[in-house]
Chain A
Amino acid sequence: MNSRNPLPGFAKTVLTATLAIALVACGKKEQAPPPAAQAPAAPAETIVKIGHVAPLTGGISHLGKDNENGAALAIEEANKAGITIGGHKIKFEMMGEDDQADPKVGTTVAQKLVDAKVAGIVGHLNSGVTIPASALYNQAGIPMITASATNPALTEQGFKNIFRVVGRDDQQGPAVANYLVSQSKPKTAAVIDDATAYGEGLANEVEKTLKAAGVRVLPREKGTDKTTDWKAILTKLKGKKPDAVFFGGMDASGGPLLKQARELGIKAVFAYGDGACTNKMTELAGAAAEGMICSQAGIPVKAASQSFLDAYKAKFNADPILYAPFTYDAANLLIEAMKKADSTDPAKYLAALHSASHKGASGLIEFDEKGDRKDAEMTIFTMKAGKIEPIAIIKSGKSMTMEEYVAATAPAPAASAPAAAPAAEPAKEPAK
């Protein structure tokens, strides 16, 4: 039979590997990262790298790019303001990576950032990618701030250097559920999810809150994130006559759900989380989308500080989409902490991050002991004439309208408007 020597095959493997090394070597030369923080007596300015990771290719790459823009804006402003840390003039540099929303790729690019000795990281976007990557950052001791991963598990790992500036699913879920309870007072509610980490996590929190409020919750129904035919599930629900339906999932499956529900004559109020809190719902469900309720973690984009909105528009010639104010704040938080600790060494400025009290584009940011944002705001929207309109902002369990919120926070944006925002900030920080 086969009398070949296995060596040639092996040799080929090695050849491939050698080739890969050669390739790496070339790739490396192009980047040539100078050692980051402690370069002794750099001539003009020391370069400090800040990593940003999000999916830049794939289905949600537009959100990833939006995130990256937010961080890039913060870094550009810091460089313009001119910052001196530890006696060195600092130039921040953003190292943008693409995690393709894939956990495997996520850990690989996380390792790349660790290799490059970045001083801090803004990212990732998806919870499923952020959690495995956070373990790597924790090992390397590099602070990471996510602006959009809302899965509670992320900050429950006991990692000291992992932060999040956006509300958790278990804050968003209760917010939308409580709003539902207070406004439409349902007796029976149905909860549906798309069997993804995001959809299920959010639906679980909603179910918990509804039950606590004394609402009878029907057994959970599930589709997938690709489900377009909801009729069997809806027909079953119709027989049980719920007054309200919550769906944890994205607009692509949530839209057909709403349309088919109305076709079947289901009159219940429909509520959604941030994944389906988009204008696309009107395209998908037509007139049936009118009056639906949905929530977003954080404040609505247009309620972000005016200085941020203007700067973003000026630089990228577009309006921020979703999480850009948060990545902007996350990058600023890192920079502020470095300034306060007078060091770009993660081990030294980490404490400053924990005690940060930062007035950012998305409001005041302080962290609790887990690294979550204290009192994160949630916004409730409703669909009006084909567009989602904010109707309430919920903070510390209190609900207020858009106007009330803007009025309550008006002085802050006005104060920080003139200068490039971050540079003006530290004066306002309470001495802690």
Chain B
Amino acid sequence: MKRWFDFLSGSRSSKAGLAFVVVALLILPFALTQAGTAWVRITNLAILFALLSLGLNIVVGFAGLLDLGYIAFYAVGAYTYALLASPHFGLALPFWVVLPIGALIACTFGVLLGAPTLKLRGDYLAIVTLGFGEIVRIFLNNLSQPFNLTNGPRGIARIEPVQIGGVSFRGTDTWFGFSVSGPMKYYYLLLAVLVVVIIINLRLEDSRIGRAWQAIREDELAAKAVGINTTHIKLLAFAMGASFGGIAGGIFAAIQGFISPESFVLVESIMVLAMVVLGGMGNIFGVIAGAVLLSFVPEILRYTVEPLQKSLFGKMIIEPEVIRMLLFGLALVLMMRFRPAGLWPSSTRRRELRGPS
């Protein structure tokens, strides 16, 4: 239970290591700003994807349920935030009220989806969740008639930024002589949320529930035999995963200031899945690494592939976006074939995937 606190009381070197990491993360946005605030924004998106991946990791990595419609919960969180804090309904609730509501509604959707479908076999479940994700998107896209709930494909604009104690996260402020831009403030907010989510995940992993999830993942029949209420436990995984997705969605809406159903398409679900699979299903830090890696891939490609092709052929032959998708596809195939447990696998997952199923 207190394992993950161990390093606090641990050796001096690990303490120093932790201190280094904390300091590095705290000054990171200032370093990035030197290169351009755009990089802070890219980092923020990476953390956002890390949050999403951690949520999906509970469902796919811990409990072994393949969810292909995960982006629906992200969408629900984002729309909840947008509806409660924008001129669309003339509401402007503070974010610490809206985010929990978003998480709660996303959680409800998770249960609504999970309750009837969890008895389905793994691959059927995957397809049903995929269908669910599409249904949510289609509804968001069409609920402008006959009552204008979501404003349809035109999306919701002028969403309120996060505000804490009178400090708006949109503008630039000067704190202690440092100029802190909007994206930098969101960076710290996201970092804080990420730390909380990591702590929750680490504690879950070794709790009774976490072990029950792993038991179900490895052998559902055996898990049932030893007295685990598999339906409840699986439902809990769906609900928790959905809640994290909802929180990430809410922050996304606040950062963007504008959302539309376009942002919640199937490809996004698959992208998050790719992050989880690549990083290592079930391994919290592996998943975060996967999310950060894949979020930066497009930017890395922008700075490598484009100039490279232009200097070699004088023009662009394969667009970076296409290369990114091809790499995703290839990564999914190769990972399943050669490293099914991911680049940074969790130890149990590794054992499980090595043995015959």
Which residues of A does B touch, CB under 8 Å?
A: 1-14, 16-18, 20-21, 23-28, 57-58, 100, 103-104, 107-109, 111-112, 114-116, 128, 131-132, 135, 139, 151, 153, 157, 195-197, 199-201, 220, 222
Contacts and interface: CB of A to CB of B under 8 A. Distances in A.
Contacts of B43: 17, 20
B124 interface: no
**Chain B interface SS verdict (over half):** helix
A115 B285 contact: no
Kindly name the residue among A4, A7, A201 whose own CB sees the greatest number of chain B CB atoms within 10 A. A7
A197 B260 contact: yes
A157 B39 contact: no
Given A21-B35, A200-B152, A7 B303 contact: no
A55 B271 CA distance: 21
Contact of A108 (B42, B157, B170, B348): B42
Contacts of A201: 154
Contacts of A195: 141-142, 152-153
A112 B262 CA distance: 23
Nearest to A154: B157
Given A6-B4, A9-B344, A16-B293, A100 B32 contact: no
Given A7-B17, A103-B262, A25 B35 contact: yes
A26 B257 CA distance: 31
16 contacts: A2-B348, A4-B347, A5-B10, A7-B18, A9-B283, A9-B286, A13-B292, A21-B32, A28-B35, A57-B320, A103-B258, A104-B256, A109-B38, A112-B38, A153-B157, A222-B142
Kindly name the residue among A25, A27, A109 whose own CB sees the greatest number of chain B CB atoms within 10 A. A27
Contacts of A4: 347
Kindly name the residue among B171, B289, B320 whose own CB sees the greatest number of chain A CB atoms within 10 A. B289
Contact of A115 (B38, B202, B320, B346): B38
Contacts of B39: 20-21, 24
B284 interface: yes
Sort A-B residue pairs by CB-CB distance and give the 4 closest, nearest first: A9-B285, A24-B35, A115-B36, A132-B258
Contacts of A128: 155, 260, 262
Interface in B5-35: 6-7, 10, 14, 17-18, 21, 24-25, 28, 31-32, 34-35
B214 to A, nearest CB: 8
Interface string B300-327: 1001000000000000100111000000
Contacts of A12: 285, 289, 344
Kindly name the residue among B6, B158, B183 whose own CB sees the greatest number of chain A CB atoms within 10 A. B158
Contacts of B346: 2
B155 A16 contact: no
A264 B157 CA distance: 41
B35 A27 contact: yes
Contacts of B183: 111
Contacts of B36: 24, 28, 111-112, 115-116
B293 to A, nearest CB: 6
A139 B18 contact: no
Nearest to A110: B38
A11 B35 contact: no
A17 B154 contact: no
A145 to B, nearest CB: 19
B35 A9 contact: no
B170 A197 contact: no
Contacts, number: 153
Interface residues of B, number: 68
Contact of A13 (B35, B152, B170, B288): B288
A21 B40 CA distance: 10
Contact of B321 (A6, A58, A108): A58
Contacts of B38: 108-109, 111-112, 115
Nearest to B282: A2
B185 interface: no
Contact of B28 (A17, A114, A199): A17
A23 to B, nearest CB: 7
B257 A57 contact: no
Contacts of A104: 45, 256, 263
B25 A16 contact: no
Contacts of A108: 38, 41-42, 45
Contacts of A27: 35, 303
Contacts of B284: 6, 9
B337 interface: no
A107 B321 CA distance: 17
A21 B158 CA distance: 32
B258 A14 contact: no
Nearest to B3: A3
Contact of A14 (B24, B144, B263, B286): B24
A189 B145 CA distance: 19
A227 B25 CA distance: 47
A27 B183 CA distance: 20
Contact of A200 (B25, B153, B171, B344): B153
B87 to A, nearest CB: 10
A57 B256 contact: no
Kindly name the residue among B10, B36, B141, B346 whose own CB sees the greatest number of chain A CB atoms within 10 A. B36
A152 to B, nearest CB: 10
A197 B140 CA distance: 12
Contacts of B293: 16
A132 B257 contact: yes
Nearest to B252: A104
A196 B300 CA distance: 31
Contacts of B152: 195, 197, 200
